[in-house]
Amino acid sequence: MTKPCIFCEIAAGRMNAEIVHEDEHVVAFRDIHPQAPVHVLIIPRKHISSMLEIAPEDAELLGHMHLTARKLARDLGIAEGGYRSIFNCGTDAGQTVWHIHLHLMGGRSMGWPPWPGN
């Protein structure tokens, strides 16, 4: 049997996560290993394994994910200071969970470009 996708499990409420937002299309929860004072993952309820797999019909969903990041940045107090919203796509980019997720990070100053350590 193939292993269930952990982010599908979280979206379905079968696995614990500290959820900060959910609606019909997306779920947002705190990253288990936060890399910034605020580090939230925004996922679609629909399983899409990587950003290489998005299709034209997902455009509205992806827009909704970014609008959710903007709302949460305000709600969680990082809108003024600034935040990063990132999709890691593929192994070289550091993708480890194969269900797309938008990282929303803020609450500290971050380096650029994102060499190791930043």
- Residues linked to residue 103 through DSSP beta bridges, in sequence order: 41, 86
Q: Which residues contact 92 (CB under 8 A, 6 or more apart)?
A: none
Minimum distance of Zn ion from residue 39's CB (angstroms): 20
Of the pair 47, 64, the CB lying nearest Zn ion is at: 47
Using CB under 6 A as the binding rule, whether residue 12 contacts ligand 5GP is answered as no
Using CB under 6 A as the binding rule, whether residue 29 contacts ligand 5GP is answered as yes
Q: Where does this chain touch ligand 5GP (CB under 6 A) — which range of 50-58, 74-82, 88-96, 104-112?
A: 88-96
Enumerate the active-site residues. 101
CA distances to 1, 19, 37, 86, 104 from 109, in Å: 43, 24, 10, 15, 14
Minimum distance of ligand 5GP from residue 10's CB (angstroms): 7
Report the C-alpha gap between 87 and 76 in whole angstroms: 20
